[in-house]
């Protein structure tokens, strides 16, 4: 029997011996470790993706809720300004006198800053930025905007947590009545608008969310009828419906055949037989005519400061 000769090699490191097939499971060379690491890496990437999606959804929901709160606060400021115009809090106060049918002295260029004319503005000149763009509504120390409840007496909680960061505020501009209301259409420039049968106001309000950087700016057009406008409109409509089509002659009888009115108005009928009859203009409703959201107010304000 031959002696066992030790394994010799010229390489400084021993060479691995080939593994028999029936011993292959004992001779792994790191393939399982690589596969495991790849699976762990894929699981980590999947987990990070799911976490980012979840956190993004939470942040989006928080931002949407914050903006909804700011929108609600801006709407509350619009209602508070309308109560201010209607003099709900103190009808006989000096503040209410500025909203009389005749233009009040409290509406000044650049907006009032006093005790009873705070936030009352005249429209800017045609070549100047609008007042609601030039004034910084979002500044905490701005002297022109009217805080919520200043003149109406309404209360609103604000602070930290789920409450708005700051109270909403508003400005009120007195506008010239539109065409058909007794004066020319448009906004007066740097002077008191012409007196008309009704008073027209532009209200600009800003609301804040739980963060002061979340802001919503709304604007509304408000019509305040003259004290005797309702009775005058009713009398005018009654006279228009009772008069003859030519505008002359006595009104037709309510329960008769109308012969008296036609007989008296025959001259007017013959003169205006070919002219089209004008339909009566329906008056606009009192109160808020409409509102809009100014989504790009920060950009407009920044451009007005240039």
The yes-or-no verdict on residue 279 having pLDDT over 90 is no
Output the DSSP codes for 220-256.
EEEEEE-TTHHHHHHHHHHHHHHS-TTS-SPPPPSSS
pLDDT of residue 68: 96
Confidence of residue 232 (pLDDT cuts 50, 70, 90): very low
Contact 133, 300 (CB under 8 A): yes
Give the residues across from 171 on adjacent strands.
204
pLDDT of residue 281: 55
pLDDT of residue 90: 74
Confidence of residue 69 (pLDDT cuts 50, 70, 90): very high
Question: Around Cβ 182, how many Cβ atoms within 10 Å?
Answer: 13
The yes-or-no verdict on residue 197 having pLDDT over 80 is no
pLDDT, one tens digit per residue, over 130-165 is 999 999 999 999 999 999 999 998 999 998 888 999
Place of tokens 């739980």: 210
Contact 191, 128 (CB under 8 A): no
The percentage of the chain sitting over the pLDDT mark of 70, rounded to a whole number, equals 63
Residues in the chain: 306
Contact 248, 272 (CB under 8 A): no
Query: What three-state secondary structure class fits 51?
Result: helix
pLDDT of residue 298: 95
Question: How many angstroms from the chain centroid is the CA of residue 102?
Answer: 29
The yes-or-no verdict on residue 246 having pLDDT over 50 is no
pLDDT of residue 255: 44
Strands 120-122, 146-147: pairing kind: unpaired
The yes-or-no verdict on residue 256 having pLDDT over 50 is no
Contact 167, 205 (CB under 8 A): no
- Per the rule left: phi > 0, alpha: psi between -120 and 50, beta: everything else, 68 is alpha
Confidence of residue 229 (pLDDT cuts 50, 70, 90): very low
Strands 169-175, 146-147: pairing kind: antiparallel
- Per the rule left: phi > 0, alpha: psi between -120 and 50, beta: everything else, 170 is beta
Contact 147, 136 (CB under 8 A): no
Question: Around Cβ 147, how many Cβ atoms within 10 Å?
Answer: 17
Mean pLDDT, the chain, rounded, equals: 76
Contact 146, 114 (CB under 8 A): no
Question: Around Cβ 292, how many Cβ atoms within 10 Å?
Answer: 10
pLDDT of residue 93: 81
pLDDT of residue 268: 42
The overall pTM is greater than 0.85: no
Of 169 and 33, the one with more pLDDT: 169
C-alpha to C-alpha distance for 243 and 258, rounded to whole angstroms: 11
């Amino acid at each position: 029997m031959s002696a066992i000769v030790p394994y010799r090699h010229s390489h400084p490191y021993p060479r691995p011996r080939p593994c028999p097939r029936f011993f292959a499971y004992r001779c792994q060379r790191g393939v399982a470790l690589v596969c495991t690491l790849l699976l762990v890496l894929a699981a980590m990437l999947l987990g990070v993706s799911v976490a980012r999606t979840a956190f993004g959804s939470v942040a989006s929901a928080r931002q949407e809720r914050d903006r909804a709160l700011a929108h609600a606060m801006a709407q509350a400021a619009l209602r508070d300004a309308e109560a201010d115009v209607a003099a709900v809090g103190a009808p006989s106060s000096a503040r209410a006198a500025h909203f009389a049918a005749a233009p009040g002295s409290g509406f000044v260029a650049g907006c009032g800053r006093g005790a009873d004319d705070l936030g009352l503005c005249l429209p800017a000149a045609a070549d100047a930025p609008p007042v609601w763009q030039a004034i910084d509504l979002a500044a905490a120390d701005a002297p022109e905007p009217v805080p919520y409840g200043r003149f109406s007496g309404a209360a609103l909680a604000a602070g930290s947590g789920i409450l708005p960061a700051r109270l909403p505020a508003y400005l009120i501009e007195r506008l010239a009545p539109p065409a058909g209301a007794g004066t020319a259409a448009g906004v007066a420039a740097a002077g008191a608008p012409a007196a008309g049968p009704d008073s027209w106001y532009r209200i600009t309000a800003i609301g804040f969310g739980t963060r002061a950087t979340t802001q919503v700016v709304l604007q509304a057009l408000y019509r305040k009828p003259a004290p005797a406008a309702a009775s005058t409109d009713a009398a005018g409509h009654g006279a228009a419906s009772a008069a003859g089509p030519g505008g002359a002659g006595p009104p037709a009888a309510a329960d008769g055949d109308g012969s008296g009115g036609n007989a008296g108005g025959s001259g007017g009928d013959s003169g205006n037989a070919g002219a089209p009859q004008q339909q009566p203009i329906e008056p606009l409703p009192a109160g808020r005519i409409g509102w809009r959201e100014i989504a790009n107010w920060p950009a407009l304000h920044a451009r007005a400061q240039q």
